[in-house]
Amino acid sequence: MKYEKRYDEKYVIFTIYGVIEARVPKKFYERYRKKYSDEEIIQYGEKELYNALTKRRLYYISEESGFPLIGHNAFGLIDRGTNLIQVRPITGCNLNCIFCSVDEGMSRTRVTDYLVDVDYLLDEFEKLVNFKRKYCKSIEAHIDGQGEPFLYPFIEKLIKRLSEIVDIVSIQTNGTLLTKEMIARLDGYLDRINLSLHSMDEKMAKIIAGNKNYDLSHIIKISEEIASSNIDLLIAPVWLPNYNDDDIKKIIDFGTKIGAGKRWKPFGIQKFVKYRFGRNPKKIKKMDFSTFFRKLRSIDENLILSSSDFNIVKCKSLPKKFRIGEKLRVKLEMYGRIKNEMLAVARDRIIQVINTNKKIGEYADIRIKRNKDNIYVAEDL
Ligand code: SF4
């Protein structure tokens, strides 16, 4: 286990793999440090966990924790009834994009992060694949999430093992943490990288990333590195009218020049969509979907994507465990991603209980409001 240790007034703070912060009360540490190693204290001792980057409370979700991996949209596994399974190992981001749909990085709305144990994630993934194999032949694991997946300390192990279980492994990333060596190590295991790149102008790229340390030249080098490996590169800018209008064409020219899209389409240009708990850039101009598609078509018809471009087909989902409107009594077991949201567990699913003032350990009478894709949201009655 790689960690750094520091002290403050009340705690001995271990930063593990650069992303998990374990705060062990000083008194506890002093009592046990002669008898146990630091690693044993971190693993079994009294501690509070935080995300070292976002400073939010963190749950480490392992098999022993008893929390299922289906039911939430921020962590675990999402099966939307196709042959693509979303794998979400971690929340939290090192950027602060001005348009972020999940208000990641330094956030006003997010109060909790989650990190899933890699063996648990793989075991549960394999069970889901065994179910889906009966209904579809080729299965893709797509690693994404509310945050940057390369912050996950076990990302290389995850990718390598996923590649043994399914046919295609793809990942979404902002590219900042990728290195030439990492790309070489993942070559042969990872089939496609969907890379966010929103501007070819250094100043605008920093503005959009919401981070003055964002290094566009690194992302450009990394893009070239991916394009010259066996990993396919899909460049995925978000078009932000009044910010990066001039960049879209430049990004396309750049991607074409370096050979993005060897196997799949090279570009996945996305329209900015305003979300209730997302960020909204101050100077953004509205663009409706028909204008967006018309503009894309006028550049190149091939910029319009469909699920068939990625061989995505319908494939039976796991049966739902709750009906809309169903009432049940649950124990609140974890803090939710945003304020006044708590998580409960029932029938091997996570349920997000929204608009609640109740605390951990309390019981709530709830009614299921959403069950789409086996993601469960309920109101506290
Ligand atoms: S990189 Fe993605 S998750 Fe991170 S802040 Fe930007 S849009 Fe949000």
CA nearest ligand 1 atom 2, residue: 147
Q: Measured in angstroms, how far is the CA atom of residue 203 from the centroid of ligand 1?
A: 18
Cα separation of 102 and 143, whole Å?
A: 16
Q: What is the mean pLDDT of the chain?
A: 97
The pLDDT value recorded for residue 42 is 96
Cα separation of 178 and 218, whole Å?
A: 9
65-310 and 327-380 share one fold:
no
Give the domain ranges of the chain. Answer: 3-52, 65-310, 327-380
Buried b (16+ CB within 10 A) or exposed e, 242-251: ebbeebbeeb
State pLDDT tens for residues 180-207: 999 999 999 999 999 999 999 999 999 9
Sign, Cα dihedral of 210, 215, 216, 221: negative
Model pTM score: 0.96
Q: Measured in angstroms, how far is the CA atom of residue 211 from the centroid of ligand 1?
A: 11
What atom of ligand 1 comes closest to residue 196's alpha carbon? Answer: 1
Q: Measured in angstroms, how far is the CA atom of residue 318 from the centroid of ligand 1?
A: 29
Assess contact for 302 and 265: CB atoms under 8 A: yes
The DSSP secondary-structure symbol of 308 reads G
Q: Is the CB of 236 under 6 A from ligand 1?
A: no
CA nearest ligand 1 atom 3, residue: 147
Tokens describing residue 10: 């009340």
What atom of ligand 1 comes closest to residue 94's alpha carbon? Answer: 4
Cα separation of 77 and 60, whole Å?
A: 15
pLDDT tens for each residue of the chain, 381 residues long:
899 999 999 999 999 999 999 999 999 999 999 999 999 999 999 999 999 999 999 999 999 999 999 999 999 999 999 999 999 999 999 999 999 999 999 989 999 999 999 999 999 999 999 999 999 999 999 999 999 999 999 999 999 999 999 999 999 999 999 999 999 999 999 999 999 999 999 999 999 999 999 999 999 999 999 999 999 999 999 999 999 999 999 999 999 999 999 999 999 999 999 998 999 999 999 999 999 999 999 999 999 999 999 999 999 999 999 999 999 999 999 999 999 999 999 999 999 999 999 999 999 999 999 999 999 999 999
Angle at 195 between CA 146 and CA 299, to 5 degrees: 120
State pLDDT tens for residues 64-120: 999 999 999 999 999 999 999 999 999 999 999 999 999 999 989 999 999 999 999
Q: Is the CB of 105 under 6 A from ligand 1?
A: yes
Assess contact for 101 and 275: CB atoms under 8 A: yes
Cα separation of 73 and 270, whole Å?
A: 20
Ligand 1 pocket mutation, candidates 73, 96, 97, criterion most atoms within 8 A of CB: 97
φ, ψ (nearest 5 deg) of residue 20 = -100, 125
The pLDDT value recorded for residue 104 is 95
Q: Domain 327-380 carries which CATH code? A: 2.40.50.140
Tokens describing residue 208: 């959009």
Sole residue written with tokens 């392992």: 62
CATH of 65-310, one of 3.40.50.720, 3.40.50.300, 3.20.20.70, 3.40.50.2300: 3.20.20.70
